[in-house]
Amino acid sequence: MKPVLYSFRRCPYAMRARLALLVSGQRVELREILLRDKAPELLETSPKGTVPVLVDGETVIDESFDIMLWALKRNDPEGWLDRMDMDLIAECEGPFKSALDRYKYSNRFEGTDVLEQRRFASGFLTKLEAHLQSGPFLSGQSRGMTDMAIVTFVRQFANVDRDWFDAQPWPRLRQWLDDFTGGPDFAAIMHKYPIWKSGDPAIYFPEDT
26-61 pLDDT, tens per residue?
Answer: 999 999 999 889 999 999 999 999 999 999 999 999
63-115 pLDDT, tens per residue?
Answer: 999 999 999 999 999 999 999 999 999 999 999 999 999 999 999 999 999 99
118-147 pLDDT, tens per residue?
Answer: 999 999 999 999 999 999 999 999 999 999
Does residue 209 surpass a pLDDT of 60? no
pLDDT of residue 172: 98
Q: Is 204 left (phi over 0), alpha (psi -120 to 50) or beta?
A: beta
Residues 6+ apart with CB under 8 A from 121: 96, 99, 100, 103, 157
Read off the DSSP letter of residue 195.
Answer: P
pLDDT of residue 208: 66
Q: Is 23 left (phi over 0), alpha (psi -120 to 50) or beta?
A: alpha
Q: What is the CATH number of domain 80-183?
A: 1.20.1050.10
pTM to 2 decimals?
0.96
150-178 pLDDT, tens per residue?
Answer: 999 999 999 999 999 999 999 999 999 99
Q: Where in the chain are the domains?
A: 4-78+187-205, 80-183
Do 4-78+187-205 and 80-183 have matching folds?
no
As its CATH architecture, domain 4-78+187-205 has 3-Layer(aba) Sandwich (3.40)
pLDDT of residue 207: 85
Residues 6+ apart with CB under 8 A from 15: 9, 152, 189, 190
pLDDT of residue 1: 86
Q: Is 8 left (phi over 0), alpha (psi -120 to 50) or beta?
A: beta
Does residue 21 surpass a pLDDT of 60? yes
pLDDT of residue 106: 93
